[in-house]
Structure 1
């Protein structure tokens, strides 16, 4: 049982931060910098959790910020809860074309590893990710035994669903609260933040998408940012972006009784399709 619990914790953090720090805050938003070897290690946690091609993932996410809860958003609950949760992956309203991914994520195309994993085809890159993930778990079983494999499968199941909760519950007015006007329906939901290692402070993130820290108040716990802070102390993480004092001065400076649909849309100027290098 001890082996199982330790393995469960390790895999939850490994796969979880692979998505939150790797795919999301590093590749999608360039919120911090780490050495290349560490970048690949962090991102591998997301890839081995069946998140698919980093280029495909990042392109979808940047489009989500560009058109959040509007036409062009790949996964908004405006098109239905189940669409935002899982349907967008199987019956996408917005299909990411090869030309679009090259326009939206040119920085990732400059990396041979990410370009190789993309395979220029969503069906093939998903199949490659599936094969690699299955082989990884066969190795776990052979080398470490069934207890470690079981821990990994449970961690993978929960972590895989965490960003799906953010995409759906994190944009429904029935849940959570808002700290900032963000021009969309994004919400801060504490229990999603716990499951998703800090990603549930989604309104904060949509307001300041380049911030490496999502929990912007003292009580909004952000485990992913805690891990990043440890990497900073170790000298492994640099150029960590945080909200400016001007941005934070707008904390709750709006009508709390308004629904997101009533808000004036925020300018999209600070939501570029491609990152700032």
Structure 2
């Protein structure tokens, strides 16, 4: 596969680095399965658990807080900042952003960035780790493609080559440290809601329900919202801007994904700090970056301009 995408494997020095870098170890692969399946089981149990006795307003409040913190950690931090360089951040802010994204339990920082940059390099073509269009266009092929793009690709053991796709991050000692401590951030994302729930209610039951709702269920919901951008937003929706793939805008996900589902503009202009650029397109991530800029925590923000948007629109028509 590597030789097909990058040229003969016998002459690696004369071409780009391979897109893959071996396979995940058995231990890492087990952690992937556990990180995906355990929250999914919790979500399946959510309805009977909540029936009359398992959900309080404290759980709801903690769910919303941690969903926003870790969700923006993916959209503002891992995606727009670390992957695409949509803005620059103060050193302390850079570390906080990396931790927030890590607590979404979608993989370590450097791995996440490498996978997403690889996605853009080969979007909807061979080499894209999670395109829904790799198996054909028949109903069966599209069903298979949807599963693969949504979560099936996570169970494959191929590892994106970080030296090729994330060389800036592997050279950064602070980011390597945050990346290495991913198990700590994973533990924290489940323990902190439980601790807060227990302290607020002053009960073990409050700790348990907060762990369930603001921990397991929250992680599962955020997982599937994020993965829906990979799957749904490359299959259906509007395409007002010129892009070299099948990325589309899917408005029902806009609020839950903090603006990531305005996906067509993102693929047409990946470094733009704002994805929802048309009237009425709510982009909470862009507003968050704007607040960071006003506070002096972010700078050199790459906001879209009318001229740039006009060129992108004309490109399609």
Q: Please report how far the alpha carbon of residue 47 of structure 1 lies from its aligned counterpart in structure 2 after TM superposition.
A: 0.7
Deviations 1:161-188 (A, max 9, x none): 222100110100xx21011110100000
Whole-Å Cα distance in 1 between the matches of residues 315 and 88 of structure 2? 34
- The answer on whether the counterparts of 1:69 and 1:76 sit within 8 Å (CA) in structure 2 is yes
TM-score under structure 1 length normalisation: 0.80
- The whole-number CA distance in structure 2 between the counterparts of 1:75 and 1:165 is 11
Alpha carbons of 1:12 and 1:136: their partners in 2 closer, same or farther (altered >3 Å)? Answer: closer
- Partner secondary structure for residue 151 of structure 2: helix
Q: For 1:92-131, list aligned pairs within 5 A.
A: 95-96=159-160, 100-118=161-179, 129-130=182-183
Report what 1:214 is aligned to.
275
RMSD of aligned C-alpha atoms? 2.1
On the 8 A contact 1:180/1:250 being kept in 2, the answer is no
| Partners of 1:14 and 1:42 within 8 A in 2 | no
Q: CA deviation at 1:139?
A: 4.4
Three-state SS of the structure 2 residue aligned to 1:253 is helix
**What is the DSSP-based 3-state SS (H/G/I as helix, E as strand, rest coil) of the residue aligned with 2:81?**
helix
Deviations 1:18-73 (A, max 9, x none): 00011000000010112121222222222112122111111111111111101111
5+ residue gaps, structure 1: 120-127, 257-277
* Contact persistence 1:85–1:164 (CA under 8 A): yes
Once residues 132 and 183 of structure 1 are traced to their aligned partners in structure 2, the CA distance between those partners, rounded to angstroms, is 36
Which position in structure 2 is the counterpart of 1:253? 314
The equivalent position to 1:60 in structure 2, one of 94, 115, 130, is 115
1:77-226 equivalence runs, <5 A:
77-79=132-134, 80-91=145-156, 95-96=159-160, 100-118=161-179, 129-130=182-183, 132-145=185-198, 146=207, 147-149=209-211, 150-172=213-235, 175-226=236-287
Question: In the alignment, does 2:91 pair up with 1:36?
Answer: yes
- Tell me by how many angstroms 1:112 deviates: 1.4
CA distance in 1, matches of 2:184, 2:298: 31
Task: Write the distance in 2 (CA, Å) between the matches of 1:136 and 1:162.
Answer: 18
Q: Quick check: 45-54 or 135-144, which moved more?
A: 135-144
In structure 2, the CA distance between the partners of 1:135 and 1:197, relative to structure 1 (3 Å rule), is closer
* Dislocated runs of 4+, deviation >4 Å: none
**Gap runs ≥5 in structure 2:** 1-55, 135-144, 199-206
Verify the 8 A CA contact 2:259 2:284 in the aligned structure 1: yes
The one-character-per-residue Cα deviations of 1:229-275 (angstroms, maximum 9, x if unpaired) are 1112212111110234432113543667xxxxxxxxxxxxxxxxxxx
Relative distance call for 1:254 and 1:39 in structure 2 (3 A) is closer
Deviation per CA, 1:84-116: give whole Å up to 9, x if none. 111111125x641xxx31122111012213323
